[in-house]
Amino acid sequence: MALERTFSIIKPDATERNLTGAVNAKIEEAGLRIVAQKRIQMTRGQAETFYAVHKERPFFGELVDFMISAPVVVQVLEGENAITKYRDVMGATNPEQAAEGTIRKAFAKSIGENSVHGSDAAETAAMEIAQFFSGNEIVG
């Protein structure tokens, strides 16, 4: 098995409800290690760049507005198969379809305001980490 890193965001709906610690508990219970973390107010430009892959989707404007509506916590998570493992811990995009025990089942408000982001592949993880962290901010 491979030690991997993935990129995570605790989204505005979760930071607003003071759920940072509750989300982090689920991350750590799953065996993932938080090796970098900071609370930031995303700019519109940062959110548009981050979600550029979705720019043609009908929900893009709403998604960018949401991501800058309150602070977020950006993180790097490390562990065996961290990318897939975190996607499993997050649960389905739509909380109505998320499995019991997942972060989105427990906390998400809707398909848009769904509490967390996690990278979907090694290439996107590397790009997303690089958008928000410099190498010396990540301490494994």
Provide the annotated active-site residues.
117
Among 41, 49, 93, 97, binds ligand ADP (CB under 6 A): 93
81 is in an annotated binding site: no
- Binding status of residue 114 toward ligand ADP by CB under 6 A: yes
Q: Which is nearer to ligand ADP, 131 or 137 (CB)?
A: 131
114 is in an annotated binding site: yes
The residues, any chain, with a CB within 8 Å of residue 96's CB and separated by 6 or more, are 111
- Alpha-carbon distance 71 to 10, whole Å? 9
Distance CA(1)–CA(66), nearest Å, equals 36
Residue placing its CB nearer to ligand ADP in the complex, 96 or 137: 96
* Residue 104 labeled ligand binder: yes
| Number of amino acids touching ligand ADP (CB under 6 A) | 10
* Rounded Cα–Cα distance for residues 49 and 56 (Å): 13
- Site pattern 15..54 for ligand ADP (x: CB under 6 A): ---------------------------------------x
Query: Closest Cα to residue 92, out of 110, 68, 67?
Result: 110
Instruction: Based on the shown chain and the rule CB under 6 A, indicate whether residue 120 belongs to the binding site for ligand ADP.
Output: yes
**Nearer to ligand ADP (CB atom), residue 71 or residue 112:** 112
Window 57-86: residues binding ligand ADP (CB under 6 A): 59, 62-63
Using CB under 6 A as the criterion, which residues of the chain lie in contact with ligand ADP when the complex forms?
Answer: 54, 59, 62-63, 93, 111-112, 114, 117, 120
